[in-house]
Chain A
Amino acid sequence: MIFLRPVQRFIAYWKPSVLPLLIVLTIWELAARWVLALRGVAFPTPWTTFVRLGALVGGDTLSGHPLGVHILNSLRRWIMGFSIAATLGIGYGLLAGRLRGVEKATAGIPQLLLLVPGLAWIPVAILLFGIGETATVFMIAIAAVAPVAINVLSGIKTVDIQLVRAARMMGARRHILFFHVLIPAALPSLISGLRIGLGTGWRVLVAAEMVVGTGSGLGYAIIQARWTLDYPASFACIAVICAIGLLVERGLLGPLERRTRSRWILEEGPR
Chain B
Amino acid sequence: MIRFENVSFAFAANGTAPVTVLDKVDLTVGEGEFVCVLGPSGCGKTTLLNLAAGFLFPSRGRVLFDDAVVVAPGPERGVVFQEAALFPWLSVLKNVEFGLKRKGLKGSQLKQTAFAYLESLGLGAHAHKLPVALSGGMRQRVAIARVLALEPRVLLMDEPFSALDANSRERLQDELLRLWVTNRRTVIYVTHSVEEAAYLADRVVVMGSTVEGGIFADMAVPLTRPRSRTDDGLLAMKARLRAVLATQPCCIQPLISPRAM
A-side interface residues toward B, CB under 8 Å? Answer: 160, 162-163, 165-172, 176, 180-181, 184-185, 187, 262-266
Q: What are some 18 contacts across the A-B interface (CB < 8 A)?
A: A162-B83, A165-B79, A165-B81, A165-B85, A166-B86, A168-B55, A168-B73, A169-B74, A169-B77, A169-B79, A170-B75, A171-B74, A171-B150, A176-B102, A181-B87, A185-B89, A265-B88, A266-B139
Write out the residue numbers on chain A whose beta carbons fall within 8 Å of the beta carbon of B102: 170-172, 176
Known: A170-B150, A264-B89. A165 touches B132 (CB 8 A): no
Q: A262-B132, A266-B131 are in contact. Are A171 and B55 (CB under 8 A)?
A: no
Residue of A165, A181, A262 with most chain B CB atoms under a 10 A cut-off: A165
Determine the residue in chain B with the shortest Cβ distance to A173: B102
State in angstroms the CA–CA spacing of A166 and B79 once bound together: 7
Give which listed residue, B83, B87, B89, B99, contacts A171 with CB less than 8 A.
Answer: B99
Nearest chain A CB to B96 CB, angstrom units: 10
Residue among A167, A168, A170, A181 with most chain B CB within 10 A: A170
Main secondary structure of the interface of A (DSSP, over half): helix
Question: Is B92's beta carbon under 8 Å from chain A?
Answer: no
The answer, among A162, A168, A176, for a CB contact under 8 Å with B81, is A162
Chief secondary structure at chain B's binding surface: loop
Count of B interface residues, CB-CB < 8 Å: 27
B146 within 8 A of A: yes
- Chain B: residues with CB nearer than 8 A to chain A? 53, 55, 72-75, 77-79, 81, 83, 85-89, 98-99, 102-103, 130-132, 139, 146-147, 150
For residue B98, which residues in chain A have a CB less than 8 angstroms away from its CB?
167, 170, 172, 180
Question: Do B99 and A170 have beta carbons less than 8 Å apart?
Answer: yes
A168 to B146, CA, bound (A): 13
Q: B55: shortest Cβ distance to chain A, in Å? A: 5
| Chain A min CB distance to B105 (Å) | 11
Q: A262-B132, A263-B130, A263-B132 are in contact. Are A168 and B87 (CB under 8 A)?
A: no
Alpha-carbon separation in the docked complex, A172 to B77 (Å): 14
